[in-house]
Amino acid sequence: MARDTRLAVLFPGQGSQTQDMRASVEHDRPDLIPLAREEVGDDPFDRADEGTRWTQPAIFCASLAGWKRLEGEARPALMAGHSMGEISALVAAGALGERDGLRVVAARGRLMQEAGEAAGDGGMLAVLGDGRDAAVEAADGLGLTVANDNGPSQVVISGEAEGLDAATSEVKKLGLRTRRLPVRGAFHSPAMDPIVPAFRELLAEVEVHEPAVPVLSCVTAEPFDDVRERLAQSITNPVRWLDVMRYLHGRGVRRFVEVGPGKVLAGLVRRALDGVETEALEAREPAHA
């Protein structure tokens, strides 16, 4: 099968979880369920709404199940993952083994949840509407961090609850909508600094291979050059998703397929880029039908 130079496959991050994630994994990759249970200490699908430590491994497994459905019919030119989805993409591309990828995701989710609980008052706020620059300016002025630069009409900022409340009031005066994300922690911000050393220690134990398909890093918005270093940096660095989409488009990609649960990334692509075709694999006939 020839590689499709116009195709990129996208892997979602936290926030894309769905109620039927388990069903797709049971159908396409049932072997991942006992592995995930072993890594996280319980069934992540049963507890996916209880916090990051459970949500991330569940999404990872569902994403690999989705990739299996697509793998036999398409050979993409490039891959990218949003935040945690980078790890799913690296596994799909062969840069990380599946067991190592699951170990990394499980540790990442656990460490992030522990850091959020230890800080106590961190959170994330999505700012929606045609006011990206205003949202970035508000975050800077209030000592907050732009955690996710998702597109022209969506920016997510991280920080302490008091600052997020102030940001909400400020951007609403400009006619922008806001939504507090259901997470306990200021992810992709300096609040996660304490967990980076432990995460680096784990990454040092992981084998890294040359990927069969280039995978973009959300830290650099370019193909991964140092997998361990970029994954460590991603804990505290912003997710440059808008730049990732622009890079893919600039390399001739015109078809974007999102595998895994949800259809968040397909929507972000449609709103950010002109002249593209998008598909969320979830919209096809259910894998468990």
Q: Catalytic amino acids?
A: 83, 188
Give the span between the Cα atoms of 151 and 129, in whole angstroms: 10
The Cα-based distances of 142 to 15, 139, 164, 229 in angstroms read 25, 5, 9, 29
Tokens of 151: 């597109």
8 Å CB contact between 175 and 129: yes
8 Å CB contact between 7 and 257: yes
* Cα atoms in the Cβ-side hemisphere of radius 13 Å centred on 227: 26
Q: Backbone phi, then psi, for 12, in 5-degree steps?
A: -80, 160
Q: Which residues of 239-254 are buried (b: 16+ CB within 10 A; e: fewer)?
A: bbbbbbbebbbeeebb
Q: Backbone phi, then psi, for 7, in 5-degree steps?
A: -110, 135
Tokens of 124: 């994330």
Q: Backbone phi, then psi, for 156, in 5-degree steps?
A: -115, 130
